[in-house]
Chain A
Amino acid sequence: MRTWRKRFPWYAYVALLPLFATLAVFAYYPAASGIWFSFYEWRPGFESVFIGLDNYRTMLTDDLWWKSFRNLGIIFAFGVTIAWALPLLAAELVISLDSKRAQFIFRTLLIAPMAFPGVVTALLWGAMYEPNNGVINRVLRSVGLETLAQNWLGDPRYALLSLLFIGFPFVAGLPFLVFLSALQNVPSEIFEAAALDGCGRLRRLWVIDLPLMASQIKLLVFLATISVLQYGFAAYLLTGGGPDNATQVPVLRMLGVAFQGSDWGYAAALSTTLFVMTIALSIVIVYVRREDRTDVRPL
């Protein structure tokens, strides 16, 4: 240990300084500031009054806040089922291609939409969902499927699912990239041996591919948990939590308290609570199955 420390040049840390300075100013400081001021009647540009845990007491009796968590279960279930199954299928198909060039082309095509600006994508889909003039309903009507045309964002029965389908995140997204990377790292000899032993494609998925991707799946659960608790971007842009609160989520309640109620201290308390929940759930996920079981099952 001491030898390694001697060899490692101290000035290498200097190279990291700009990174940490940037993080400190733009990430750590605002976050710490938000936590700090959650104990205040926060008036950002003015004198703030310390009120202890009052904001948190208010939160405990704020049923608008607690009710906003109801939709998170649906969002999480969607995020770890459909939003994983299709990327996994796509990754398996891409890895099965013999041609490296074809693999590269399909991989690029499938991850390129990740670079599209989120606001543009959301607004574009908002226009596509428009019930009378939107592309989706026009296409359905033009092919004789008028009964399937819906008031996608305006009907409480469909609004949340419509938001979740924006941009087809389950096709082009991070899960695909993670699954594909995991499969690419599996030595081809393993796949060849499985094939020689007569292992079918579906069986290989269950007994080899998925066990080998266990750590990546844990990472995806971790990321899904964070993204679900922070969900609200598309709802903020397109539905504002409606119709009839069908797309209400905690982040929207927090933004409403801040921007419409100008109650910044309370909004900071809600934000801090979301942060603590994220940390707590992340710790649970990290410590559940801490041992990394990458061994495959017997064929």
Chain B
Amino acid sequence: MLARGSRRTARGPAAARLLAGTIALTLAVAACGGGDQSGGGSGDGSGITITLEGPNQWNDSGSSFGKPWEDLVAAFEKETGIKVKTVVLPLNSFSQTISTHLSAGTAPELVFNQAPHQPYMVHALDEYLKKPNPFIKEGPGSERWIDVFHERYFGFGNPASMNAEGKIEFIPFNLVGIGLFYNKDAFSKAGVTAPFETFEDLIDGCTKLSAAGYTPLAMDRSDLGPGWTMATIAGMLLDKHVDRLNVYTTDGEPGKATSSTGAPIVSGKALTRAVLTGELTTKTPEVVEAHKLLKRLWDACVDKNWSGNTEGLNGAVVGLRDFAAGKAAMAWGVNFGVSALQDVPFEFASMPFPQITTESTPLANGAPARFGASVGGTSYMIPSTVKGEKLEAAIKFLQFVSTPEHIQPWLEATGGISAVKGAEGAEETSAFAEGTWGDSIPLGMPGGPPGVPGLALYEGWLLGTKSLAEQQEYLQDLWIKGARQAVKDNGWDDEPWAKS
């Protein structure tokens, strides 16, 4: 045995060298194969090709974002000589694909921003945004690119625009407006009037719609429906805690944070502190009340089999199949959902979520329902691995699509809401961003740690498999884990409250 072992050992290095050589050769071939990514091209853009990858938010094609997009790209290519290749990713897996590409350093020049990533994986765009946008000859944006955007939604100091390091890392092509679509025919048949003014009106409306044979509110097994509903309800009830918990600016310095419109908000750092110090817990009366109202809405308005509904999951309309089929009378949706509802056999319109008043809970303080428009629509960023002329070309594309005259036709054709001044966007979805509904929520419900989907936060409570006490304990545990992860990720370890 020893002799055999000795022989094997003696042969080992030679075999290993041969194996290593084979692997090295294979890797070298693979490396050569990837060489075309660095590309070439002249400084004027001719010969340069950049690639943009993201999900198809407008149609079900696996190869094109649609003609309006192709027209936008063609206009850019004609003006700059830079070629743009669009990679359409499946809606149900784009997040993992982009996340993997960013982590591995293999992402193309432009990637959709709603994929998990860390700040070091993408370029901070702050310095570019302080310089003129060369495509804007006069007016906002001609001196500083950032000035062309609506400050309410996008800008320096706006928490919705900044990453964990306080930098801007993406450019919005449009805004996303969230609201409730409703079937006008169903409402008419059930004798229900839209929009609902109060939460109680909504519950009454659900009762009438159920009696008329409709599922009042379409719901599916995605994070969106429960998440948006809870965010809206909690946004109203937690309003009274904003001043108390607002102790850090959006840059993480001690002080008060405000949104671009000057309204007070609770920054991510302040929210993390509130969770870890116990100033905001799942037993805070408003948090408890938010859970009760959410459950009340679920029981009155949502189909009992909602948690098993996985057909037609999409990011535009929650429970699209049931709403489009005329079975459900209302559905949460975003402005992109208009195109998904083009062929429905009934008239539909949209409305905001109603206000919670003291009629529903004595804890209501008159805060309006807010959610509205945000930069969470179509936004793209540049991976930090992109350098040189490819980086400049990608910046040029982002500058081009934030030029009002260039983006206007695309917005009109896709039902988009404009993120830039001077472009109007589509008329039918402009209401998504108007009034108090268009304001951002100043204090949101904390989330769980990375890797725990949003649906998992409330699913047990909504299904009735967790009592309120169990839900409080379960959610508190996830809040703490999420806050501790935020401390670790953002380097807040030295803060005294972070040690609790």
Query: A residues within 8 Å of B by Cβ?
Result: 1, 17, 20-21, 24-25, 29, 43-46, 63-64, 126-127, 129-133, 151-156, 238, 240-245, 253, 256-257, 259-264
Contacts and interface: CB of A to CB of B under 8 A. Distances in A.
Interface in B129-161: none
A260 B116 contact: yes
A262 B306 contact: no
A267 B4 CA distance: 40
Given A21-B19, A64-B481, A154 B451 contact: no
A154 B309 contact: yes
Contacts of A257: 450-451
B456 A45 contact: no
B105 A45 contact: yes
Q: DSSP majority for the A interface?
A: loop
Given A64-B481, A151-B307, A241 B104 contact: no
Contacts of A155: 307-308, 463
A100 to B, nearest CB: 45
B75 interface: no
Given A45-B385, A155-B307, A259-B100, A17 B22 contact: yes
B305 A256 contact: no
B459 interface: yes
Interface string B432-470: 000000000000000001111101100110010110000
Given A130-B310, A244-B459, A262-B116, 10 more contacts: A20-B19, A24-B23, A43-B120, A63-B477, A132-B303, A152-B308, A243-B307, A243-B308, A256-B451, A262-B117
Contacts of A264: 103
B193 interface: no
B455 A261 contact: no
Contact of A21 (B26, B116, B466, B477): B26
Pairs A-B, 4 closest by C-beta atoms: A45-B105, A154-B308, A261-B450, A256-B451
Contacts of A253: 451
A45 B103 contact: yes
Contact of A154 (B18, B27, B102, B305): B305
Contacts of A20: 19
B452 A256 contact: yes
Given A242-B456, A242-B459, A153 B308 contact: yes
A155 B308 CA distance: 7
B163 interface: no
B188 interface: no
Contacts of B456: 241-242, 244-245
A242 B465 contact: no
Contacts of B306: 154
A24 B19 contact: yes
16 contacts: A24-B22, A25-B26, A43-B120, A45-B103, A45-B104, A46-B105, A151-B305, A154-B307, A243-B221, A243-B459, A243-B460, A244-B460, A245-B456, A259-B99, A261-B449, A262-B117
B18 A17 contact: yes
Contacts, number: 132
A244 B463 contact: yes
A156 B308 CA distance: 10
B429 interface: no
Contacts of A261: 116, 449-451, 485
A260 B309 contact: no
A224 B332 CA distance: 43
Nearest to A1: B4
Contacts of B118: 43, 262
A25 B453 CA distance: 34
Given A245-B456, A264-B103, A29 B23 contact: yes
B60 interface: no
Nearest to A264: B103
Interface string B310-324: 110000000000000
A153 B310 contact: yes
Nearest to A257: B451
A260 B118 CA distance: 11
B360 to A, nearest CB: 26
Nearest to A243: B307
- Of residues A1, A46, A63, A238, which shows the largest number of chain B Cβ atoms within 10 Å of its Cβ? A46
B221 A242 contact: yes
B161 to A, nearest CB: 20
- Of residues B221, B304, B305, B384, which shows the largest number of chain A Cβ atoms within 10 Å of its Cβ? B305
Nearest to A126: B310
A138 to B, nearest CB: 13
Interface string B350-388: 000000000000000000000000000000000011000
A131 B305 contact: yes
Contacts of A151: 304-305, 307-308
A262 B26 CA distance: 28
A45 B455 CA distance: 31
A25 B311 CA distance: 39
A130 B311 CA distance: 8
A25 B308 contact: no
B23 A263 contact: no
Contact of A133 (B116, B311, B485): B311
Contacts of A263: 450-451
Contacts of A241: 453, 456
Nearest to A133: B311
B224 to A, nearest CB: 13
Contacts of A1: 4
A240 to B, nearest CB: 6
Contacts of B26: 21, 25
